[in-house]
Chain A
């Protein structure tokens, strides 16, 4: 059974800084089936990245995804005030699963 581990649990940064979020799989997974979501308090998750590196419709280009095998990264090049949120990675295989999430908070 695959387990997705996200780190760090909380990332404290200032607006304008670069954020790098990690998602590590317990065994190699296809990058074709790796997604990232953003979730703000009281809201449903929003798809940011699918296929490890493809941005979903309407997602700003400051969001980028990379990685392969067991290690995947979501990078936010310059944090905007609206980017402070919780980010979830997902492997959407036959039984989809999610990582535990990373909270990006204002420092």
Chain B
């Protein structure tokens, strides 16, 4: 089955860190760029970060630059997001998403179910 499964979310205090994971299956993970998208409760979608198939190209949204680090392990079919210096405004459901083709610039045709990050003291 083609799927993405996120994990690693939880309740954390401001300033702390988490490592989010996304396990891919059913497709050749190493052929695709991958992205993280988040959605605050009751709000719209916000793209967070993307990484090329070979990790050579990485881009972040301005709101997370310097605090979040995206990475991947193609041998393990896994995508990661290290989230540091967490703020209350980072509270959201974090999705990993796969582009329709191997191009970075493509619509997202596969999404995980999301992992919830709640930042609160």
Partner of A44, one of B47, B50, B104, B114: B114
Given A88-B44, A90-B107, A98-B44, do A44 and B112 touch, yes or no (CB 8 Å)? yes
Given A44-B111, A47-B107, do A95 and B61 touch, yes or no (CB 8 Å)? yes
Taking residues whose C-beta sits less than 8 angstroms from the other chain, chain A's interface range is 20 to 34
Nearest to A43 among chain B residues (CB) is B113
Residues 90-121 (chain B) with a chain A CB within 8 angstroms: 95, 99-100, 104-109, 111-114
Interface residues of B (CB under 8 A from A): 35, 37, 44-47, 50, 59, 61, 95, 99-100, 104-109, 111-114
Given A47-B109, A95-B61, output 8 extra A-B contacts at Cβ < 8 Å.
Answer: A44-B111, A45-B95, A45-B108, A45-B111, A90-B107, A92-B99, A96-B37, A99-B44
Interface residues of A (CB under 8 A from B): 33, 35, 37, 44-47, 50-51, 56-57, 88, 90, 92-101
